[in-house]
Amino acid sequence: MNESNINILIVEDDEVTALNLNLSLKKFGYFEIDICDNIEEAKEHLRSSKKDLVIIDISLQESDDGITLAEHIKENFDIPFIYLTSYSDDEIIERAKQTEPYGYIVKPFNPESLHATIQIALFKYKSEINENLMDSKFTANDSLTRLLNEKREKDAPIVKFGNGRYHFDITLNETFFDGKKIKLTKKENLFLKLLVANRGKVITFSKAVQYVWPDSGATENNVRTLVWRLRNKLQTDVIKNASGIGYYIEE
């Protein structure tokens, strides 16, 4: 991946540190950089545009808000993140480890170490993606079934969504609207099942390709075309866009 094409989000509430990070990144050819100083703004950046890497100060606003943001990223987005920390952060490092970051940058940092940490993080992330692609064929269906069962109604093997007008029948593996079955192709059904099982979370383009087209070289355009066809068969606008990232169904 060319450095100039890597989109990095910096989450740092110290203006001087944020400026130094920005200048250091540009020194090594990273030019797609966004900076914010709080969790809510960071979440909006993540929701509205595609990021390849996030650099997070563990001690945002003199608390462990950086870890809270990392937990949010891990739960909702498929994006690698790196912590920015200092020696005074030792008491929360153990909690930070639980979020499984792709690296640490220690303050005061030097540009060379920053660049190296980013490159290692991106390499590690890419390697994990390739491993997951190999394993997904065997585990995806079991994982989705588990997620669907966690969301099912108490008295029936169904998962409701879209203000209760839609439901996915776990036993029949079919989707219904106002009690009437919706005729879907195999791939449309797979993708909708993926959205329903992960209701409230964004399904990235890469995750959609991994699940719906595990044995072919599908692209983001294949996903967009599939969603366009699927939306034409659904009665309401239940599939939402996460611009440049993927799609989701609201909780």
**pLDDT (tens digit per residue) in 198-221:** 999 899 998 899 888 887 778 899
Given a contact cutoff of 8 angstroms between Cβ atoms, the answer to whether 86 and 107 are in contact is yes
Q: Do domains 3-129 and 152-248 have the same CATH topology?
A: no
Q: Rounded mean pLDDT of the chain?
A: 87
Give yes or no for residue 133 having a pLDDT over 60: no
From 1.10.10.10, 1.10.8.60, 3.30.1490.190, 1.20.1250.20, which CATH number describes the 152-248 domain?
A: 1.10.10.10
The DSSP code sequence of 159-208 is: EEETTTTEEEETTTTEEEETTEE----HHHHHHHHHHHHTTTS-EEHHHH
Q: How confident is the model at residue 138 (pLDDT cuts 50, 70, 90)?
A: very low
- Superfamily covering domain 3-129: Response regulator (3.40.50.2300)
Question: In this prediction, what percent of the chain has a pLDDT beyond 70?
Answer: 91
Q: Parse the chain into domains and list their residue ranges.
A: 3-129, 152-248
Give yes or no for residue 174 having a pLDDT over 60: yes
